[in-house]
């Protein structure tokens, strides 16, 4: 099963992806985790990505698509995966659809976690990851970038009748229950 978990920063994608990974025994691929690892290890990509993220901006499409495509070619993803944080732009979604087509594969579910903005800001500022862009001003910038550049990805998949909107408020378990119901 190939799943995209989608939503704004702070919607709970990473938390729900871990639960889905355990439930369906398929790997979770988070571009955020790949980037954080590269930043922590100070790889050339990590240094570049850190400066971009420090400005509250998004990593260029071509860098992200290349990273994800290379990762998905690994054996551990042959039976499915959960994508979290990708695709982030329509260009990435189009490139991903091309990748799927070239590899005789398809997307099984596009799960959109819907959460009000006030709750997102509260969640991000309280999660304590220590990211350099976890300030109220930078969070607002990230949410604005999300609205302008990332939310159109949902429209792209809505045109393909693949979007399933899930209420992202409530306990972790309640939200997970809604996602499992949507996947059945």
**Is 88 an active-site residue?**
yes
Q: Is 142 a catalytic residue?
A: yes
Q: Which of 9, 18, 112 is nearest to 58 (CA)?
A: 9
Active-site residue, from 73, 127, 136, 147 = 127
Report helix, strand or coil for 161. Answer: coil
Backbone angles phi, psi at 159, to 5 degrees: -65, -20
Distant-in-sequence, close-in-space partners of 90: CB < 8 Å, separation ≥ 6: 152, 153, 156
DSSP label at 57? P
| Pairing label, strands 109-114, 28-30 | unpaired
For residues 63 and 8, the answer to whether their CB atoms sit within 8 Å is no
178 catalytically annotated: no
Counting every residue, how long is the chain?
184
Q: How far is it, in rounded angstroms, from Cα 151 to Cα 67?
A: 21
Tokens of 137: 């001003």
Does residue 127 carry a catalytic annotation?
A: yes
Catalytic residue among 88, 138, 147, 184: 88
Catalytic residue check, 78: no
Active site residues: 13, 88, 127, 131, 142
């Amino acid at each position: 099963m190939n799943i995209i978990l989608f939503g704004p920063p702070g919607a709970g994608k990473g938390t729900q992806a871990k639960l889905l990974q355990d439930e369906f025994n398929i790997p979770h691929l988070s571009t955020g985790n790949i980037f954080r690892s590269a930043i922590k290890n100070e790889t050339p990509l990590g240094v570049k990505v850190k400066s971009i993220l420090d400005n509250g901006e998004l990593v260029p499409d071509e860098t992200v698509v290349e990273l994800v495509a290379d990762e998905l070619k690994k054996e551990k993803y042959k039976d499915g995966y959960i994508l979290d944080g990708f695709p982030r732009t329509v260009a990435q979604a189009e490139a991903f659809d091309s990748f799927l087509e070239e590899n005789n594969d398809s997307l099984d579910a596009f799960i959109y976690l819907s959460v009000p903005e006030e709750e997102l800001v509260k969640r991000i500022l309280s999660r304590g990851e220590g990211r350099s862009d976890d300030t109220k001003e930078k969070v607002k910038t990230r949410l604005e970038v999300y609205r302008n550049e990332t939310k159109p990805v949902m429209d792209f998949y809505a045109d393909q009748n693949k979007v399933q909107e899930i209420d992202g408020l409530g306990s972790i378990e309640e939200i997970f229950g809604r996602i499992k119901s949507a996947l059945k």
